Amino acid sequence: MKQKGSFGPAVNGLGHTAEHAGPKDGINRVSPKKENVMKDEVSTVNYDRAEALLRSIIKYWIVQLMDYGGTCPVTTAECVLDKEPALCKAIGKERVLALCKELHRAENISQSEWYQARFHQFNNQYFGGTLPDYRVHAVYDITVWAPGDCDEFPRSDIDHAAHEIYLSMTHCVGFREMDELLIHFMAHVATGTSTDEDFAWHLEMERLRQFGAPVDASPDNQSIVHAKLPNTLKN
């Protein structure tokens, strides 16, 4: 939220001065001949700047709204239109909705890389490097990737057929909890299981716990309700 303070000047008419000419001496120096050209440039910059800011803001709100009950592109757009009217006016409602549709399908590449590295490290540390390679995706809207009616938090799932693990982007838990979630799925990989009712999975989780892996001490907290993958992805 820290960056919010910089949004106002960029879109409320002060943006021109702030971005191009310093806080006090900008627009008065522009000659009348150049004024029209400058206005065109300013409107272009403001559009691009507004869209760039909105891309970040929309991602923020998708995660917030997903954390607090779920959202869809239309709901996210309504939220952003309400929270950021000036930025949205700069690019238009239709573009805001198009951005929401695009970003609901987005993956956070840097977070995916982080958890891909953790998968590799945990594989060597706790599984002797024996697990097959799975791609780990940190995604904004997991219902796009693993559609289902699961409302449990945090949403996440595994697709054995495609060798992929999906983790929801979230603001509610820290690295330790996300490591526990990743280990949870790696135990599924090790045992070839997809549900938490399987005894083999429980045995593997106990082995990991005793081995010092990031596993919650309480078996009740180790289980999650998986999002439901469509059958076409499962088999």
Instruction: Give the binding-site size for Zn ion (rule: CB under 5 A).
Output: 1
The 8-class DSSP code of residue 107 comes to B
Nearer to Zn ion, 48 or 152 (CB): 152
Contacts of 81 (CB under 8 A, 6+ apart): 88, 93, 96
Count Cβ atoms within 10 A of the Cβ of residue 87 and give its class: 0-12 exposed, 13-18 middle, 19 or more buried. buried
Residue 222 CB, shortest distance to Zn ion, in Å, is: 8
Cα distance between residue 25 and residue 19, in whole Å = 12
In the complex with Zn ion, the residue whose CB is nearer, 80 or 183, is 183
What is the nearest approach in angstroms of Zn ion to the Cβ of residue 194?
Answer: 7
How many alpha carbons lie under 13 Å from residue 16 in its C-beta half-sphere?
Answer: 15
Q: Within 185-214, which residues bind Zn ion (CB under 5 A)?
A: 196
CB closer to Zn ion out of 196 and 216:
196
> Is the CB of 108 or the CB of 191 nearer to Zn ion?
191
Shortest distance in whole angstroms from residue 88 CB to Zn ion: 40
Sign of CA dihedral 112, 203, 174, 229: positive
Tell me which residue has its CB nearest to Zn ion: 196
Cβ-based nearer residue to Zn ion, 97 or 178: 178
Minimum distance from CB of 97 to Zn ion (Å)? 35
CA–CA dist 212, 179 (Å, integer):
12
What is the nearest approach in angstroms of Zn ion to the Cβ of residue 3? 36
Minimum distance of Zn ion from residue 136's CB (angstroms): 15
Closer Cβ to Zn ion, 177 or 196, answer by number:
196
Instruction: Tell me the closest approach of the beta carbon of residue 70 to Zn ion, in angstroms.
Output: 20
Q: Which of 178, 195, 134, 129 is nearest to 160 (CA)?
A: 134
Toward Zn ion, which CB reaches closer, 164 or 196?
196
* Alpha carbon separation from 19 to 8, 16, 24, 41, 63 (Å, rounded): 12, 6, 11, 12, 29
Per-residue binding string, Zn ion, 136-155, x by CB under 5 A, is --------------------
In angstroms, the CA 100 to CA 219 distance is 38
Residues 6+ apart with CB under 8 A from 59: 103, 106, 108, 140, 169
Write out the residues near Zn ion by the rule CB under 5 A.
Answer: 196
